[in-house]
Amino acid sequence: MYVGIGYDIHKFVKNRKLILGGICFDYPLGLLGHSDADVVLHAIGDAILGAASLGDIGELFPDTDSKWKDVSSHILLNKIMELIKERGLGINNVDVTFIAQEPKISKQKKEMSKRISEILEVEPERVNIKATTTEGLDSIGRSEAAAAQAVVTLIQTAEK
């Protein structure tokens, strides 16, 4: 079994859609980034890459490459999945913590889990989504930013 940890943070801005876990939220602000800035999928992607010893999202999809400008993060995660499949690896389990004062995601957690499980080609029960705040502290606590942490375990699915 292989274990990886991922983390991502982006600041909130006007005139952007808020995408979390591949789901579009009805929220007046979005996250600023080169891609769609989906902190949840970015944290998962980095955790997968870490578990497979394949670097990080910034190396594979640099913000200096216009090819990735405004791209949907599920496309990045699909590409990451192709890389681990080439190594004979698959997803065992995903545990994500979304960190923000707002928006509250409790009503969308199941939908997020389902969407993530579709991208990762695993059962929804293998994807756990949690949320927490920073109790009003720091940029997240002032609702200036949102972040996510993810832990992923990979298993060998085929010979390399």
Per-residue pLDDT of 43-64, as tens digits, reads 999 999 999 999 999 999 988 8
Query: pLDDT grade, residue 65 (50/70/90)?
Result: confident
pLDDT of residue 18: 97
Residue 160 predicted with pLDDT over 60: no
User: Quick check: 61 and 78 in contact, CB under 8 A?
Assistant: no
Domain boundaries, the chain: 2-156
CB-side neighbour CA atoms (13 Å) of 17 = 14
2-156: CATH number: 3.30.1330.50
Residue 96 predicted with pLDDT over 90: yes
Q: Round to whole Å and give the CA distance between 94 and 108.
A: 17
Among the listed residues 148, 156, 157, 154, the one whose alpha carbon sits nearest the alpha carbon of residue 21:
148
CB count in 10 Å sphere of residue 94: 23
Lowest mean pLDDT among 12-26, 61-75, 131-145: 61-75
pTM, full prediction = 0.95
